[in-house]
Chains A and B, each alone.
Chain A
Amino acid sequence: MDATNGNGGASKYITLVSKDGFEFVVLREATLCSDYIRGMLRNNMTEARTGRCELQDINGVILEKVVEYFHYWYKYRDREDVPDMEIPVENCLELVVAADYLGMDNVKNHESTLPHLGLRSSTCVMAVVPRGVFVNRTLL
Chain B
Amino acid sequence: MASRTNKIRPIRKPITNRDQSEFEPCWALLRDAMTDIHLQNAGRLSFEQLYRASYKIVLRKKGALLYERVRDFEQEWFRDHIMPNIAALITKNLINISLLQHPGSSSHERREMGEKFLRGIRDSWTDHNRSMNMIADVLMYLDRVYTLETKQPSLFAVTIGLFRNNVLRSHIGAAADDIEQDFVVFDILCAVILDLINMERDGDIINRNLVRKITAMLESLYETDDEIENHRLYLTLFEPRYLEASTEFYRKECEKLVQEANCSTWLRHAQRRLNEERERCGTTLSIMTTDKIASVVEKELIEAKLDVFLAMEGSGLKPMIDNDRLDDLSILYQLISRVDSTKSALKVILQRRVRELGLEIEKALKNTDFSVAGAATGDGEEAGEAAEKAKPQTLNPAQQQTAAAIKWVDDVLQLKDKFDRILSDCFCDDLLLQSAITRSFSDFINSFNRSSEYVSLFIDDNLKRGIKTKTEAEVDAVLDKAIVLLRYLTDRDMFERYYQKHLAKRLLHGKSEIHTEKEMVSRMKSEMGNHFTSKFEGMFKDMELSKDLTDNYRDHIASLGDVDYKMVDLNINVLTTNNWPPEVMGGGTSKGEGAKPDCFYPPEIKRLQESFYKYYLKDRSGRVLTWVSSAGNADIKCVFPKVPGKETGPLSKERRYELNVSTYGMIVLMLFNDLVDGESLSFDEIQAKTNIPAPELMRTLASLSSVPKCRVLLKEPATKNVKNTDKFSYNAQFVSKAIRIKAPVISSISKVEGDEERKETERKNDQTRAHVIDAAVVRIMKSVILPVASFRVG
Contact = CB atoms under 8 A, between A and B. Distances in A.
Contacts of A44: 42-43
Contact of B149 (A35, A49, A92, A132): A132
B212 to A, nearest CB: 18
A43 B9 contact: no
B11 A94 contact: yes
Interface string A100-140: 01010010000000000000000000000001100110111
A139 B45 contact: no
Nearest to B5: A89
A46 B47 contact: yes
B202 to A, nearest CB: 38
B43 A46 contact: yes
B2 interface: no
B145 A92 contact: no
Interface string B1-14: 00000011111111
Interface stretch (A23-31, A50-58, A65-73, A76-84): A50-58
A39 B137 contact: yes
Nearest to A92: B8
A47 B48 contact: yes
B97 interface: no
A70 B770 CA distance: 93
Contacts of A136: 59, 61
A47 B140 CA distance: 16
A35 B47 CA distance: 13
Contact of B140 (A35, A45, A56, A57): A35
A1 B134 CA distance: 11
Contacts of A93: 8-11
A46 B46 contact: yes
B10 A140 contact: no
Contacts of B8: 89-90, 92-93
A43 B40 CA distance: 11
Interface residues of A, number: 36
A35 B43 contact: no
A73 B9 CA distance: 25
A4 interface: no
Interface in A1-30: 1
A114 B15 CA distance: 31
B481 to A, nearest CB: 62
Q: Which of B11, B14, B133 has the most CB of A within 10 A?
A: B11
Contact of A54 (B48, B140, B141): B48
A45 B59 CA distance: 24
A136 B18 CA distance: 12
Contact of A57 (B18, B43, B52): B52
B51 interface: yes
A43 B61 CA distance: 26
B140 A39 contact: yes
Contacts of A42: 137
Contact of A45 (B12, B46, B144, B145): B46
15 contacts: A35-B140, A35-B144, A39-B51, A40-B48, A40-B137, A42-B137, A44-B43, A46-B43, A90-B7, A90-B9, A93-B8, A136-B61, A138-B11, A139-B14, A139-B15
Interface of A: 1, 35-36, 39-40, 42-49, 53-57, 59, 89-94, 97, 101, 103, 106, 131-132, 135-136, 138-140
Interface of B: 7-15, 18, 42-48, 50-52, 55, 59, 61, 133-134, 137-138, 140-141, 144-145, 149
